[in-house]
Structure 1
């Protein structure tokens, strides 16, 4: 049963990863004394625009890296599912 549900579980985990990153940064912006979100807000308040944009770009790169790592793990864990889907598509033609 777990094997059949694993594609949906992984999809939910992928969605949770993006939501977790957004919530982490928002919580750092409002209620933390350190962290990337806190630094971005402090640079904005100090009119240090290059540093602020550097933090935003770094945040985007961290999100991209986590997404790529998650996709690589997903491809490894769900290799059986991808093969099964390709076999079903090829069999219907």
Structure 2
């Protein structure tokens, strides 16, 4: 298994729950949360379907929509955790 598949598998339950939670809690003030959720879902699907998924597009979109994983000042710890975990996933994928 590749490092990114391992990372996603290990953190999938939390990321799946958290990316949904931030859309509910912060979607009104941070519409990018919906994009983050959608992109994460794409990453989930690709890592399940392929042994060596090509996630260049997904991580490029995440970097753009999150301003390189910059955590907004007015969000909760869950939102911050999503950005931190996705940044770690991105770094893992780039290796």
TM-score (norm 1): 0.33
Comparing both chains, which one has the higher relative contact order based on Cα–Cα distances under 8 Å and sequence gaps of 6 or more? 2
- Structure ranking higher in helix proportion: 1
